[in-house]
């Protein structure tokens, strides 16, 4: 069984949001004052498991759990264990802000999570707090150390680069990744949600980030692929560390898109940069014992997956949905 969209792309990757809530309020993800969903609008753990099983049964081989911050969802370790055990799933991975990893990294490995991506946008405590609005850098660094020691197959850092906020820290973040023996990806800010400022003022293209890194390191282009949108390079002097660039604005990766996103409300987003969605929450609750209508809706919905998004770096909000709803 396989999933194919209307233009022939194979879809084998599901990003599954387990909560819209987060203990941080990062400036590129949320507005300062957020209103979160009432509980009845959020998928239950059982509904999340059912969706995961349904998608794997239709050909999905990789599931990434996202948020919000997935690790503040009660029952997350048990959810991971049940999803990781699904026959046919190649890997269960997760993206986290790292705040809860000091206590949860090892239980997550034991539950079957293979890889962990951790957001880290600054190594300066005051700047980190300004970007996250309330985050504690020490707590995240302790979480990264716990993740390194827990036994994940791979740990990677994610950094959203913004001029005027953390662009000048790119070399230090690369050095930190080298010291820790882990990978790091630099991400262009995406125009999702009105965060109270123009993103155009802070937009930083991946080519600028790469040029800054190249001042200190020899870079070797790599054909490696982690199953997502990152383009990787290796460092000549430190080949154990991969540098990734995720460039939705300047080098869109739509032609090879292999993924869809399920929001915590049960809306299947066919493209991060479009509002078109399929309402799976209603289907889950209308057909609690019958998967056929959900499978039919999935295949029909994929026929309408857009060819590409229309992101640009000019700062205009292009999708009103905040990133915490879909996990980026």
Which residues are annotated as part of the binding site for S-adenosyl-L-methionine? 28, 68, 119, 190
CA separation for the pair 64, 174 (Å, rounded) = 24
Distance, in Å, from the CA atom of 165 to the CA atom of 259, rounded to the nearest integer, reads 30
- Residue numbering of the annotated binding site: 15, 22, 26, 28-29, 64, 68, 95, 119, 156, 190, 254, 257, 259-261, 271
* Binding region for GTP: 15, 64, 95, 156, 259-261
Binding-site positions for [4Fe-4S] cluster: 22, 26, 29, 254, 257, 271
**4-10 CB contacts, 8 Å cutoff, 24+ apart:** 4/302, 5/270, 5/302, 5/303, 5/305, 6/302, 6/303, 6/304, 6/305, 7/305, 7/307, 9/256, 9/257, 9/258, 9/305, 10/59, 10/258
Q: Which of 140, 195, 164, 182 is nearest to 29 (CA)?
A: 195
| Angstrom distance (rounded) from CA 37 to CA 41 | 6
């Amino acid at each position: 069984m396989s999933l194919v969209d209307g233009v022939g792309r194979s879809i084998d990757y599901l990003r599954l949001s387990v909560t819209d809530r987060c203990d941080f309020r990062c400036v590129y993800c949320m507005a300062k004052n957020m209103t979160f969903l009432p509980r009845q609008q959020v998928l239950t753990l059982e509904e999340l498991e059912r969706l995961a099983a349904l998608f794997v049964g239709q050909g999905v081989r990789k599931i990434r759990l996202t948020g919000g911050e997935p690790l503040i969802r009660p029952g997350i370790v048990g959810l991971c264990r049940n999803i990781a055990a699904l026959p046919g799933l190649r890997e269960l991975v997760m993206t986290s802000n790292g705040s809860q990893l000091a206590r949860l990294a090892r239980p997550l490995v034991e539950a079957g999570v293979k890889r962990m991506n951790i957001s880290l946008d600054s190594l300066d405590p005051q700047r980190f707090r300004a970007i996250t609005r309330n985050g504690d850098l020490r707590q995240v660094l302790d979480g990264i150390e716990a993740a390194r020691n827990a036994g994940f197959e791979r740990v990677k850092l994610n950094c959203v680069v913004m001029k005027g906020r953390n662009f000048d820290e790119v070399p230090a973040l690369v050095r930190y990744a080298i010291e820790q023996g882990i990978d790091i990806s630099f991400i262009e800010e995406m125009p999702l949600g009105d965060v109270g400022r123009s993103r155009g003022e802070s937009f930083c293209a991946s080519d600028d980030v790469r040029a800054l890194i190249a001042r200190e390191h020899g870079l070797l282009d790599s054909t490696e692929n982690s199953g997502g949108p990152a383009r990787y390079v290796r460092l000549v002097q430190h080949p154990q560390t991969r540098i990734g660039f995720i460039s939705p604005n300047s080098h869109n990766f739509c032609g090879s898109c292999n993924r869809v996103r399920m929001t915590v409300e049960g809306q299947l987003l066919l493209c991060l940069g479009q509002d078109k969605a399929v309402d799976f929450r209603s289907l889950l609750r209308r057909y609690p014992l019958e998967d056929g209508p959900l499978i039919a809706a999935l295949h029909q919905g994929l026929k309408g997956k857009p060819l590409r998004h229309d992101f640009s770096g000019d700062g205009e909000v292009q999708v009103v949905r905040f990133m915490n709803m879909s996990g980026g």
